[in-house]
A and B are shown apart, each in its own frame.
Chain A
Amino acid sequence: MPILQTNRQKATVFVIGVYVLTIYTLWNTFRQSHSFLQWSIKLNQGFSFIIICAFTLMNFLLLWQGATNLLFGELRIIEQEHVFERLPLIVISIIMITSSFSSDQIFNVLIFSTGFLVMQVFTWILKDRLEGLLQTINGETTLTKLVFSNFIRNMIIFAILNYFTTKHTFFDTLKPFYHDLNNTNIALLIFGYNFTSILIQYLNILAHTILNLYAFYYTQSPHRRNNQVNGDDDDDDDEEEEKDFEGKFIYEKCINFTTKLLDVILDFTLLIPFKFKTFYAKDLIWDLILLIKMGVDLFKIWQNNKKLGDKLPDIIADDLIGHDNICIVCMDDLVDLSHEKKHEIGVDNDNSEEIIYTQDDINAMSKHKRPKILPCGHMLHFACLKHWMERSQTCPTCRLNVFDDKGNVKPVKHHHPPAGPHQPETRSTRPTPTPTQPQSQDASRPVSSDPNTFSSPDNSTTSLATGSDAHTTTTSARTGSSRAGQSPDLMGNKPYKPTRPGEWGTFAVQDQSSDGYTMTFQVKDGESRTQNVELVLTPNKDYDDPYITINNSCFENVEFLD
């Protein structure tokens, strides 16, 4: 119909239609029946029943929509998505529950399942809303504004609702039945269980809210503000920054862990009255697996981060040769000269690349800021690294795991070459001229932006460096593309062929002669011309690993010639 343009208009017409039909049905059946009983029976037959059902369902949806609007306003897209993703599962589980009850429980079950459904959906939205609230924090936000927000109002409403549902289902209704199980109370028991699980979810959100509010309060607290106003010296600021609420991510993980633990306990308590029937054990097993996984992860992160400072080596001055001296997290200089020294040499920040940093410069830095080197050779400020490691246990540049499964860090050897250093060199047979620059002594460690570069036909630049640690040689490539290279774990030193651009591969070294290891690659460039690239690696004395690692981000395909 051309009149009904929008969904809203269609909905309005439908609602009016259903109301008119319902009233007509009520009136019609009322006229034809002599008693209330007859009327009720008539209403539950044939078309009347369908219309009554439609009427109830529609009103339920309208009420729900109204309540959502009242509590949350318009839903964000992510919230809608979450609801629609999870709704089917909940509906299925409700149907499963209801199917196991006797029919005289129908009203109880209907009311409980409706209540459960609504509460569950609203709890999801509430959780997403917390994220939304945190995203809105900006310069003008004050703690009072946050505390008196709609979100907190909703939290209070839900606290009350949760209190009543849990109290009603679990304590009032269940207590007398707990010793005497029959079909009647199983319904209530399972719904009690479900409502309690909602309560646990609510507690989780509550804990997150308190944590975040506290973190916000912490960053706003007067001592910090004063410090920022007064702090004109760089180092002092950074030490202060270190005290910024740093453990938040760990605390959040702890909260989630505790929530899961409560879930497991809840699952377990449900098993007791059911005498450990397998059907009800599935939740327990599932939650238990998740709990153990979370626990192990949490423990690992906690352990790893605790010893982060000790396990990871500080950089040495030689590491900086050929490095652009930028910490990719804060984009500040990796090694910062003290003010006096800066003045002494008379440099400003613009030409800092030309400065040669000495070990003293590094040692002069505060412990929080002193750069660390990761097993993959990337360097970051300790403070920056620490903040990142709370979120992810991988190198931010190449995403190689920092710790292995046992919580150890693969050593990055500080290699001090002997007097007559072996000069690692790179040769490509044809056709690209290889600007083999004089290799600095300390390229004996995988450093991505090493000056020793050669250009491949498709104009992307590959930087090459040979190394002496367990991974020996890392060839990392930089492309102009924005995606960071992807790197499966290389810890198992097995030959691994990359299948797509950006992936890392491990290649066996073929030829071992006195003057080095020789490898030949077939490289396809942008126009699919195949080139052979021979690579000769001059080993260090302690080099005994037969594999080298290549990143083929800039090559379309790297094939190993047998």
Chain B
Amino acid sequence: MRTSLNVKTKEEPNTFNNKMSKTAQRRLLKEYQQLMRDPPPGIVAGPKDEGNLFLWDCLIQGPTDTPYEGGVFNAQLEFPRDYPLSPPKLTFTPSILHPNIYPNGEVCISILHAPGDDPNMYELAEERWSPVQSVEKILLSVMSMLSEPNIESGANIDACLLWRDNRPEFERQVKLNILKSLGF
């Protein structure tokens, strides 16, 4: 299922906010153009508002052969001023039931963690953020995260337990939420 978001395709916003970092803006614009030109299947993303390239809205299609199949999930990407040197923050709005998504919708995957700090030594430096990642790659990672949860470093403990111990119930709840989100 290809979803389409009604994004205005005006490519060069007139009023850039001067205060923001120029490199980040340019790169975000480039990524946006790239995504418009050649959108990956199942993903739609673009800035919420043309004046501010640092806040994006994304639609992610639930991967096939997973409980999330058939769902379309709305997420919000928040970019730091020094993007792409620091990772953006991805939040599902509304949150979805998944072992690696916090109840408030924040996504916990290692590539979205800054390279410098490793407070808990949970993950290797190689698995963390690098400027080679992009919006497209992040969203593709999230899609693969949807199909393969990693309960070793869970963000939502309830979802972790449910996923591990009672898969049918987990799938039922996910399906129910999808139906609800689609308005049934």
Q: Hey, which bits of chain A sit against chain B, CB under 8 A?
A: 77, 82, 85, 135, 137-139, 219-220, 225, 228-229, 237, 241, 244, 249, 328-332, 384, 387-388, 391-392, 394, 396-397, 399, 480-484, 486-487
Which residues of chain A are within 8 angstroms of B26 by Cβ–Cβ distance? 330-332
Which residues of chain A are within 8 angstroms of B89 by Cβ–Cβ distance? 135
Could you tell me the distance between the alpha carbons of A391 and B117 in the complex, rounded to whole angstroms?
10
* Identity of the chain B residue whose Cβ is nearest the Cβ of A240 in the assembled complex: B22
Among B18, B104, B116, B141, the residue within 8 A (CB) of A77 is: B104
Q: Do the beta carbons of A396 and B130 come within 8 Å of each other?
A: yes
Given the contacts A332-B26, A399-B130, A392 and B115 also touching, CB distance less than 8 Å: yes
Known: A138-B55, A396-B130. 6 other contacts (CB 8 A): A77-B104, A135-B89, A137-B81, A225-B19, A228-B18, A484-B130
Which residues of chain B are within 8 angstroms of A77 by Cβ–Cβ distance? 102-104, 106
Residue of A139, A228, A229, A332 ringed by the most chain B CB atoms within 10 A: A139
Interface string of B11-54 (1 = CB under 8 A from A): 00000011111110011001100000000000000000001101
Q: Do the beta carbons of B52 and A330 come within 8 Å of each other?
A: no
Q: Is B111 an interface residue (CB 8 A)?
A: yes
Q: Do the beta carbons of B30 and A139 come within 8 Å of each other?
A: no
Q: With both chains docked as a complex, state the minimum distance between the C-beta of B143 and any C-beta of chain A, in angstroms.
A: 9
Secondary structure dominating the interface of B: loop
Q: Do the beta carbons of A486 and B127 come within 8 Å of each other?
A: yes
Which residues of chain B are within 8 angstroms of A480 by Cβ–Cβ distance? 140
Q: With both chains docked as a complex, state the minimum distance between the C-beta of B82 and any C-beta of chain A, in angstroms.
A: 8
Could you tell me the distance between the alpha carbons of A473 and B141 in the complex, rounded to whole angstroms?
30
**How many residues of B are counted as interface, with CB atoms below 8 angstroms from the partner's CB atoms?**
47
Could you tell me the distance between the alpha carbons of A228 and B21 in the complex, rounded to whole angstroms?
10
* Identity of the chain B residue whose Cβ is nearest the Cβ of A392 in the assembled complex: B115
Which residues of chain B are within 8 angstroms of A138 by Cβ–Cβ distance? 52, 54-55
In the complex, 12 of the A-B residue pairs with CB atoms within 8 angstroms, ordered by the A residue number, are: A77-B104, A219-B21, A219-B81, A244-B21, A392-B115, A397-B132, A399-B125, A399-B126, A482-B141, A482-B144, A483-B127, A483-B141
Q: With both chains docked as a complex, state the minimum distance between the C-beta of B53 and any C-beta of chain A, in angstroms.
A: 10
Q: With both chains docked as a complex, state the minimum distance between the C-beta of B160 and any C-beta of chain A, in angstroms.
A: 15
Given the contacts A399-B130, A486-B126, A229 and B18 also touching, CB distance less than 8 Å: yes
* Identity of the chain A residue whose Cβ is nearest the Cβ of B84 in the assembled complex: A329
Q: Is B137 an interface residue (CB 8 A)?
A: yes
Given the contacts A219-B19, A237-B22, A396-B130, A332 and B125 also touching, CB distance less than 8 Å: no
* Identity of the chain A residue whose Cβ is nearest the Cβ of B89 in the assembled complex: A135
Q: Is B114 an interface residue (CB 8 A)?
A: yes
CB-CB contacts below 8 Å: B130-173 with A: 130-134, 137-138, 140-141, 144
Q: Is B80 an interface residue (CB 8 A)?
A: yes
* Identity of the chain A residue whose Cβ is nearest the Cβ of B119 in the assembled complex: A82
